[in-house]
């Protein structure tokens, strides 16, 4: 049996990324490993064991090319409309709330936001499959 434990993204500015993920999702630094050419920072929220690993390559100054293979990271929340308003108040630039209801059946309610490095993040209302 396997268990997903983390997902890794490369970021340019450690402090900027930690601030974003803390303000947006309440994630805190759980572990930090500093090496000569790079740093690994593991972020975690209180309600789960899954971590987001930020990799900071110390000599890197140019933004990363995210390419066309990256999709998104998803977070689930209890009150999507309240979170959307909070993101706006935090100046995190959330996109509009979308209700995905093909054939009239609501499957998901969500919005997207980008982190400081351009990674797409989906924020979903907790319901149905999205728990």
Tell me the HSE value of 92 on the side-chain side, using a 13 A CA sphere. 28
CA separation for the pair 99, 77 (Å, rounded) = 15
Write out the H or E segment, with its range, that includes residue 54: strand 51-57
Q: CB burial class (10 A; 0-12, 13-18, 19+) of residue 47? A: exposed
Clarify whether 120 is annotated catalytic.
Answer: no
Distances (CA, A) of 115 to 34, 35, 80: 22, 24, 18
Catalytic residue selected from 14, 83, 120, 122: 122
Active site residues: 122
């Amino acid at each position: 049996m396997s268990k997903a434990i983390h997902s890794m993204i490369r970021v340019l500015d450690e402090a900027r990324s930690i601030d974003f993920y803390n303000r947006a999702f309440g994630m805190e630094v759980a572990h930090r490993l500093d090496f000569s050419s790079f740093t690994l920072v593991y972020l975690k929220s209180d309600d789960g064991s899954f971590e987001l690993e930020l990799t900071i390559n110390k000599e890197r100054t140019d933004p990363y090319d995210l390419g066309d293979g990256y999709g998104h990271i998803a977070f689930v929340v209890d009150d999507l409309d309240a979170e959307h308003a909070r993101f706006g108040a935090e100046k995190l630039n959330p996109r509009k709330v979308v209700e995905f209801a093909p054939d009239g059946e609501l499957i998901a309610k969500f919005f997207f936001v980008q982190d400081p490095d351009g990674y797409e993040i989906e924020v979903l209302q907790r319901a149905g499959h999205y728990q």
